[in-house]
Chains A and B, each alone.
Chain A
Amino acid sequence: MRSAPRLFVYFPLLLILCVGLSACVARLAPNYDKAIADGLVTASQQIMTHFASTSSGTAASSFAQRDATYSSIIGNLDALALQAKSRPTPKSSVGDKVNEYLAKRGITITDTGEVPSAAALEQISITLTKMRDVDKKQGVTAFEVAAFKGQVVIYLDQALTYENFLEREGN
């Protein structure tokens, strides 16, 4: 039997590999959470409906009609950001090793430990809070609505892409 001697030679090597790679299955990012992904889709619909209804610009005199909508959207966004942020973010030696490897090649990655979707959601909340405050004070022009919308769409794309990307096999 030819395989036995080869196994005898390789077995110590395999054993060392097993021990050396004992933290092998890496987790470098938070787990996928369907509730957050679904919440993002719902929030997107709510936000886009708001932009559609204000696309011609607004007057401060009619702000009271929109106040509750702003509160509902901002409240939902803050709750989602909190959910996204409060998931445990794994710390893995694999991540450190990858960073060391890249650093040796002149690529420095600053790991803030921030969850990208949570940070993007916070920025959407900041954007809509600014829109609400300006709307209340003087109304917003149609052009400003377009600029607020453009900004929100960029952040939404970041949050949605990241959350959907977290759905790996076996999740």
Chain B
Amino acid sequence: MATAIDISSLMEQMKSAASDVAKKDISVLKGFSDRQIKAIAQQAALVAAGIASGQITTETQEFFLDSLKTMAQSFANTLQGLAKVTIEKVWNAMVGVLWGAIGTATGIDIPAIA
């Protein structure tokens, strides 16, 4: 039987669904960022020390220096890709709750549309 939607309860459920996903994903994103920032900083120090001591030869100097920039860009690109997945998951979690509420209220089983 169809029932009415309790707006404030629905809002709470949507908020809760979104924050459950966000909390979990943000800790992964933070862990990844911390690792990458530390590793890129260590790589920069290694390259600088190697160039100063001559253990990084002229054959590879330019390559390693250019790569530091590419690495940072690639890190930003990956972070953006991860954030996209999180946005997708947050959105879908909220829509799932919304769909469920509409289905219960109308008695119609609404399929998820991709």
Contacts and interface: CB of A to CB of B under 8 A. Distances in A.
A70 interface: no
B77 A114 contact: yes
Contact of B98 (A11, A17, A161): A17
Given A24-B112, A168-B85, A154 B50 contact: no
Q: Is the interface of B mostly helix, strand, loop or mixed?
A: helix
Contact of A11 (B46, B106, B112, B113): B106
B4 A10 contact: yes
Nearest to A98: B87
B43 interface: yes
B105 interface: yes
Nearest to A151: B67
Nearest to B111: A25
Contacts of B19: none
Contact of A130 (B55, B56, B60): B60
B85 A28 contact: yes
A18 B102 contact: yes
A17 B1 CA distance: 21
Interface stretch (A42-50, A73-81, A119-127): A119-127
A65 interface: no
Contact of B74 (A25, A95, A116, A134): A116
Interface of B: 2-5, 28, 32, 35-36, 39-40, 42-43, 46-47, 50, 53, 55-57, 59-60, 63-64, 67, 70-71, 74-75, 77-78, 80-82, 84-85, 87-89, 91-92, 95, 98-99, 102, 105-106, 110, 112-114
